[in-house]
Amino acid sequence: MAFNKFDNQRGGNFGPREMVKGNWKCGECGTEITELPFEPAPDRPIYCKDCWSKKRPPRFSR
Ligand SMILES: [Zn+2]
């Protein structure tokens, strides 16, 4: 199996997670957020990790 075909040197949108830096506040608990593992949508509330996992649909948990 050639699993290492996609080297994570220049992954682009997939592969290694790129942390997006910024200054947000959690829309639920008000925690300050300075890094996100994804690009936040400007017209959507941003949640901290904690609230995210709470808001995520349960079918995503494994
Ligand atoms: Zn929160």
The pLDDT assigned to 39 comes to 87
Classify residue 2: in a domain, yes or no. no
Q: Report which of residues 23 and 1 the model is more confident about.
A: 23
The pLDDT assigned to 13 comes to 54
The pLDDT assigned to 29 comes to 97
Classify residue 1: in a domain, yes or no. no
Identify the band that residue 10 occupies on the pLDDT scale cut at 50, 70 and 90. low
Classify residue 8: in a domain, yes or no. no
7 Cα: distance to centroid of ligand 1 (angstroms): 34
25 Cα: distance to centroid of ligand 1 (angstroms): 8
In this structure, what DSSP letter does residue 12 have?
T
- Number of domains, the chain: 1
DSSP string, 39-59: PPPTTS----HHHHHHHS-GG
CA dihedral over 52, 41, 38, 19, signed as positive or negative? negative
Whether the pLDDT of residue 54 is over 60: the answer is: yes
> What three-state secondary structure class fits 7?
coil
Domain of residue 40 covers 18-60
Classify residue 48: in a domain, yes or no. yes
16 Cα: distance to centroid of ligand 1 (angstroms): 24
Q: Report which of residues 35 and 37 the model is more confident about.
A: 35
The pLDDT assigned to 60 comes to 57
Question: Which pTM value belongs to this model?
Answer: 0.57
